[in-house]
Amino acid sequence: MKRPTPWCTARRSISDQPAGAIDDVERAVAMQRLSLIAEGASFTREEGLPLRDWEALCRLPLPPCSRWSRQRRSISVTSVTRHSRLSRYFGIILSMSDQLTTADIARLPTAYNVAHIRIEPNIILAPMAGVTDSIFRRMILRLGGCGLVSTEMTNAASVSPKALRRHRLLDYLPEERPLTMQLSGNDPDLVANAARVVEQLGADIIDINCGCPSPKVTGGGHGSALLRDLPKMERLLRAVRAAVRVPVTLKFRAGWDEQSLNYLEAAQRAEAAGVAALALHPRTREQGYKGQADWSRVAEVKRIVSIPVIGSGDVTTAHEALIRLRDSGADGVMIGRAAIANPWIFRQIAELRRGETPFQPAPADKRNLLIEYLDICAEELSERLALNKIKQLIGQFAVGLPGSNHLRVAVHTATSLAVARAAIERFFAPFLETDAAVATAALAAD
């Protein structure tokens, strides 16, 4: 496969930038660095440009030889690559921004506080409806490297004892602490009452969801719909804050759509309402999961509030997690989908920080974890629910293994746990044989 050139990356990044003025300070910094590079100065790796600098730099007026389309916010690659000096600037800047030095790592924050609760390490599991139940959370915590877990979002109207027994969304075990319980709602009094119940259940932190884009949720004015009425969001946060003694946090998106980006105001209102930490998924509700999470928005929020700010979105590797932490200045990183595909990612981040080579799971590790997960699901859930859980996980979990499509189809069409287990064993058998053959050959060579 052809490797994308830095130009393609630069072009994509430019195309993804929202319209609007660029920050004057960033422009000045980028301009100064550009002129220094033009004069032949080179930066040491430690002085590598933060991502937002080169993003700002990408938006600078370009020399006449390049074609710059304001409407499409893109540069014509062919014409620009002909301009060797400029392409060198970008080349240098791009390669520097992707490097992570030991000095960079040493400077990264490793913990943050949610009021009196210390979150360490500062790499945390994102709440995911249908995924992050107690079984999944315990699996992640057992693998190591994860500082905080959260329940799936629970509707504030569904916290009566009867509803709790039915959906079991707030079930947990003590080993999961500290534990965040997440609520969604629209009515300040109702959410405040639900928060009291959730505090009684033992939540260490109560998180309010202002990010869910699902029409089912926003239709009732919950989730990201609250971003359309920030005074109401603030009233709701104040009501919850007044109702409970545990810290209250907010998870939110950048705004309803590109025309109503209000993440800065939302962050300030939340802080004023007494919220103890913020987690921003820097996409709009309209974006859903399309495009890229714009982490420069996380950096902006970090600059204007004094409570901890966590970034969430599109972190898929240990390296990326640390780059995001460095470039955004965030206090922590939240990982969602990548934790399904690679539950070892938290451990890998911890290893990378210690200067060790991150653990690379072999197919046998994947097989063992999947079977272990299946067994726990079978023990703790009904057959139907357990089978659903496996079906939900399998698509992401098998990503990267050749032929994983067959496994996905086999598990999705399984009518019982036994059939799903047999499909998993069948799929992994050839990989395990290869591993065993490699190990025997290595022993023989010894």
Structure tokens at 287: 């974006």
**Closer Cβ to ligand FMN, 329 or 336, answer by number:** 336
- In three-state secondary structure terms, 433 is helix
**Closer Cβ to ligand FMN, 97 or 184, answer by number:** 184
Question: Does the footprint of ligand FMN cover residue 285 (CB under 6 A)?
Answer: no
Q: Residue 210 catalytic?
A: no
**Contact call for residues 153 and 124 (beta carbons, < 8 A):** no
Q: Which of 293, 353, 296 is nearest to 100 (CA)?
A: 353
**Closer Cβ to ligand FMN, 152 or 300, answer by number:** 152
Question: Does the footprint of ligand FMN cover residue 315 (CB under 6 A)?
Answer: yes
- The 68-107 contact track toward ligand FMN, x by CB under 6 A, reads ----------------------------------------
Question: Does the footprint of ligand FMN cover residue 281 (CB under 6 A)?
Answer: yes
The C-alpha atoms of residue 5 and residue 92 are separated, in whole angstroms, by: 13
Peptide bond into 178 cis (omega under 30): yes
- In three-state secondary structure terms, 139 is helix
**Closer Cβ to ligand FMN, 128 or 201, answer by number:** 128
Q: In the set 147, 336, 343, 363, which binds ligand FMN (CB under 6 A)?
A: 336
Question: Does the footprint of ligand FMN cover residue 147 (CB under 6 A)?
Answer: no
Q: Which residues contact 441 (CB under 8 A, 6 or more apart)?
A: none
Give the residue at shortest CB distance from ligand FMN. Answer: 336
Min. distance of Cβ 441 from ligand FMN in angstroms? 38
Question: Does the footprint of ligand FMN cover residue 411 (CB under 6 A)?
Answer: no
| Among 58, 146, 210, 212, the one annotated catalytic | 212
Structure tokens at 386: 């357990």
**Closer Cβ to ligand FMN, 209 or 262, answer by number:** 209
Residue for token pair 């620009």 = 80
Q: What is the DSSP string of 240-290?
A: HHHH-SS-EEEEEEEESSGGGB-HHHHHHHHHHTT-SEEEEEEEETTTTT-
Q: Which residues are catalytic?
A: 212
Provide the binding-site residues for ligand FMN, judged by CB under 6 A: 126-131, 152-153, 182, 209, 211-212, 251, 281, 312-315, 335-338
